[in-house]
Structure 1
Amino acid sequence: MFETDALRLLVAVAETGSFTGAAARLDYTQSAVSRRIATLERQAGGPLFERLPRGVRLTPAGRSLHRHAVEVLGRLARAERELAVLNAGQGGLLHVGAFATANISLLPSALRALQLARPDVEFVAVEGPTGTLVRSLADGTLDLAVVSDYPYGLPSADGVTTTPLFDDQLLVALPPDHRLAPEPTVDLRELRDEAWVQSAYGDRPTMLADACARAGFSPRKVIRIAEWTGKFGYVAAGLGVALVPSLAARAVPAELLLRPLTDRTLRRTVHVALPATPLPAALKLGELLRETDLGRPARGA
């Protein structure tokens, strides 16, 4: 395998046309240049330079290796520049992740602010449950993630740190002609006879089940709809009501009403998670997430 320094010396000799010129450029002695070129020629399997009365010139083998050396050294130089920019937080590629409702407004708003502050930073965004995101941070796949402590609390992973951003309150989405529409807040017990629109199946814990259990009842009927857009369509048609995290408020159609619940303990905490050695751009994005004003009031009051 050819050493980088040897390839750099090859290029210098070829460009200056002599061992003496290469020695002066790279601060070597002429004898050191001769020895290293001789070693490189042994590795290459033959002469790389023709020795002339005045200077040297590349042999066919030397021209072939010189072409590859220039390409390799150029790539290494570009990599060094990219890493310097990346480590300074001024550019590079940032891999970020978030759970579904954090991708409605929270993370996009912060990424938009990051683009304005650091226009040379590019990002790749992924969506997933908190446990998957934390594991991706631990194995180096992600540089930052927005996670929550619902339903099982925050998972732990070596080197991953989490910082609370805010509490995400539960709201209830009602059709505009609902009997509780005039109320500024809604007691969940007033909705015990409603049909509920939610997405989870099987034994998976849900915010709806937890919230109703705390209010002392079980949902009378549950309509299983996977996507938020479908859930909102059923509520708009008057077929049921739905619990909506405040993070999802901006995705709710304008004709629906959002009301906070009287039990303000029904919430989850949203966190920003970072690996052990975060990139400067990830730290900047974390700051912007803390500064993001989502404006999540109930609507239609």
Structure 2
Amino acid sequence: MELSLRRLRMLRELHRRGTVTGVAASLHYSPSAVSQQLAQLEREVGASLFERLGRRIRLTELGVLLTEHADEILGAVERAEMALERAQDGVVSRLKAGVWASVASGLLPMALTRLAQEHPGIEVRTTELAPEDTANAVLDGALDFSFVIEYSDYAIPWDPALAREVIAVERLHAAVAAGTCPESPVSLAAFAEQPWVLAGPTSHFGRAIRLACRRHGFEPRIVHQVEEQATALAMVNGGLGVTLASDLVLNTVPEGVEVIPLTEPVLRTVSIAHRSAHPTRRPLELVIDAVRAAAAERGLAAGSALP
């Protein structure tokens, strides 16, 4: 019997998530591909590994047993990869990273250019995800590391299986149509009666801003709910409302939008998350150093990170 690492990883994810759709989303396969691979795994083993319970799937005793061994096998593969990297002085590697829009545009170009110049043997491949999904993608083993955020007004739950390295601290600023706000800096409460352009309440950004507004005594009147800051800024440019913009998007603000500092800043910490079960891989350490250097050049000091 020869067991496929890819199929073992799918089986482990099935045990965690309980649905083929969940496995497909976490590992970036189609549901039909996951079903085919799991069926092939059952044929290779020659026994039933799972059973359907309505829309969910539960592993049999043999399935659970194989999953326990899969954890050991996949962990051993990771350790072998790390050992090879250390034997090569840690300068040859390919890393998979989870990013979101403002990090991809505001930090990565500078960081990866620096990395290519200083350590050309390290290749970073990126996948853009919603900020809410990046940490889980690292936990699942689909990515080596991801960028994650935490807000001063919203403490985000953290899994102890992940380690995080603080990269930068951003301030959020009021973004309004040019000429419509005479004060600078301005209190968030000044926008209590204004229409807002804001992300939904299930996103980290949307949740954090709602909490910040409530701390200032009002509920934002959201007229346009959009998830991307670039879209929100375009709508502000059209006079459709106000929003908040982070430091990393300031170089993409349209000419008709004015960015105004807040009297009581809303902060967010940008970190890199990676699995904490093993020592940090040397190539990842070099990536972290390059990103921190890029953040420092942008004036986003990591020394003022959130507690």
Same fold (TM over 0.5): yes
1:194 aligns with 2:189: no
- Output the CA distance in 1 between the equivalents of 2:284 and 2:203: 36
Contact 1:172 1:260 in 2 (8 A): yes
Q: Determine the structure 1 residue equivalent to 2:158.
A: 155
Q: Determine the structure 1 residue equivalent to 2:286.
A: 284
Report the CA distance between 1:250 and its aligned residue: 2.2
Q: Determine the structure 1 residue equivalent to 2:262.
A: 261
User: TM-score with structure 1 length normalisation?
Assistant: 0.62
Q: Determine the structure 2 residue equivalent to 1:13.
A: none
CA 1:195–1:141 in 2, change beyond 3 Å: closer, same or farther? same
Question: What amino acid is aligned across from residue 294 of structure 1 in structure 2?
Answer: R
CA 1:161–1:225 in 2, change beyond 3 Å: closer, same or farther? closer
Matches within 5 A, 1:1-301: 83=84, 87-130=88-131, 132-150=133-151, 151-158=154-161, 160-180=162-182, 183-200=183-200, 206-264=207-265, 266-275=266-275, 276-292=278-294, 293-295=297-299
SS of alignment partner, residue 133 of structure 2: helix
Percent of aligned pairs with the same residue? 26
Residues 72-106 of structure 1: CA deviation (Å, up to 9, x unaligned): xxxxxxxx9xx558953323311112233322212
CA 1:139–1:202 in 2, change beyond 3 Å: closer, same or farther? closer
Report the CA distance between 1:270 and its aligned residue: 1.6
SS of alignment partner, residue 119 of structure 1: coil
Report the CA distance between 1:128 and its aligned residue: 2.5
CA 1:162–1:177 in 2, change beyond 3 Å: closer, same or farther? same
- Output the CA distance in 2 between the equivalents of 1:257 and 1:269: 23
SS of alignment partner, residue 254 of structure 1: coil
How many residue pairs were aligned?
A: 214
Most deviating of 161-170 and 122-131 = 122-131
Question: What amino acid is aligned across from residue 158 of structure 2 in structure 1?
Answer: P
Question: What amino acid is aligned across from residue 288 of structure 1 in structure 2?
Answer: A
CA 1:203–1:144 in 2, change beyond 3 Å: closer, same or farther? closer
SS of alignment partner, residue 88 of structure 1: coil
Q: Determine the structure 2 residue equivalent to 1:24.
A: none
SS of alignment partner, residue 250 of structure 1: helix
Residues 258-300 of structure 1: CA deviation (Å, up to 9, x unaligned): 1111112x2222212233333322110111222222247xxxx
- Output the CA distance in 2 between the equivalents of 1:242 and 1:220: 11
**Bigger radius of gyration among the two:** 1
User: TM-score with structure 2 length normalisation?
Assistant: 0.61
SS of alignment partner, residue 206 of structure 1: helix
Contact 2:198 2:222 in 1 (8 A): no
Residues 203-253 of structure 1: CA deviation (Å, up to 9, x unaligned): 985233112101111123431233333212211121211111222222222
Structure 2 residues without counterparts, runs of 5 or longer: 2-80, 301-307
SS of alignment partner, residue 97 of structure 2: strand
Q: Which runs of 4+ in 1 moved over 6 A?
A: none
- Output the CA distance in 2 between the equivalents of 1:203 and 1:112: 30
Residues 53-88 of structure 1: CA deviation (Å, up to 9, x unaligned): xxxxxxxxxxxxxxxxxxxxxxxxxxx9xx558953
CA 1:99–1:227 in 2, change beyond 3 Å: closer, same or farther? closer
- Output the CA distance in 2 between the equivalents of 1:133 and 1:212: 26
Contact 1:162 1:271 in 2 (8 A): yes
CA 1:203–1:141 in 2, change beyond 3 Å: closer, same or farther? closer
Structure 1 residues without counterparts, runs of 5 or longer: 2-79, 297-301
Q: Determine the structure 2 residue equivalent to 1:5.
A: none
